[in-house]
Chains A and B, each alone.
Chain A
Amino acid sequence: MGHTKLFKTLIDILFYVLCLGLFVLLFLGPKGLNSIAQENKFVQEWDVISWLILVMSTVAYVLLIIGVKYLKNVASIMTNSISFGPSVQINLRKSGKFLIFSSLLNFLTFALIFVKQIVLDISTEITFDNNLLLQIFITIVGLYFIIQSDILKMTFNLKSENDLTI
């Protein structure tokens, strides 16, 4: 039970920090926003691709928040009682899907940045990018949640069958 409470607390902290980040990005960011993707360019100098990168990053960030929100629901249900009922399955599956959508959109954003560097700036560099590995990890976690949801569904069906065995 202690682990469940710690799990819920950490998910709650993550969710609120992510929401705070979105608030800063949407409301406070535009006041002092003058750089994107390590390019020190003023907003007035941004091209279409720079804006596209910003929009895609923001959408990916929102998708991540939605994924964590569903995980927060799972943690909340599990804190009340260790349950593997339909509500846990549905929330876990949705969480997994949104995490995957978020990381896929981030992949696209990275690809766009890469193409932009090659085509427009005619310069590129080969670096060990931790952000890319993080996206792969988030995709794996999202897939794991979906698999876990399927396993819970099977378990629930087995339990129902066992309960209805006289």
Chain B
Amino acid sequence: MSIVVNLNNVLSERNLKSKELAEMIGITEANLSILKSGKAKAIRFSTLEAICKALDCQPADILAYEKE
């Protein structure tokens, strides 16, 4: 997929673990893992908003487009 999820980078910059982020934004660790691994088909605006709010970042910090 040409959309890349950079959640791991942002998490390491903030010194946060996946479990903590999952608790903060109210989704399961399994779903967060799907999102991080790039297996997710789509992301809800509400989830994106919650992640941005929790990590104090912009959507572009998490998602990026890469040419295949």
Write the residues of chain A forming the contact surface with B, with a CB cutoff of 8 angstroms. 160-161, 164-166
CB under 8 Å from chain A, chain B span 21-44: 27, 31-32, 34-35, 39-44
Q: Please give 9 more A-B residue pairs, beta carbons under 8 A apart, in addition to A165-B43, A166-B43.
A: A160-B41, A164-B39, A164-B41, A165-B41, A165-B42, A165-B44, A166-B27, A166-B35, A166-B47
> What total of chain B residues lie within 8 Å of the partner, measured CB to CB?
12
**Chain B hits for A166, CB < 8 A:** 27, 31-32, 34-35, 40, 42-44, 47
In the bound complex, CA of A165 to CA of B32 (Å): 11
Write the residues of chain B forming the contact surface with A, with a CB cutoff of 8 angstroms. 27, 31-32, 34-35, 39-44, 47
In the bound complex, CA of A165 to CA of B41 (Å): 6
In the bound complex, CA of A161 to CA of B41 (Å): 6
Min Cβ gap A111→B in Å is 50
Min Cβ gap A162→B in Å is 8
List 5 A-B pairs, Cβ < 8 Å: A161-B42, A164-B34, A165-B41, A166-B27, A166-B44
Min Cβ gap A150→B in Å is 21
Min Cβ gap A126→B in Å is 59
Nearest 7 CB-CB pairings of A with B: A164-B41, A165-B42, A166-B35, A161-B41, A166-B40, A166-B31, A166-B43
Using CB atoms, name the residue of chain A closest to B27. Answer: A166
Using CB atoms, name the residue of chain A closest to B41. Answer: A164
**Chain B hits for A161, CB < 8 A:** 41-42
Using CB atoms, name the residue of chain A closest to B30. Answer: A166
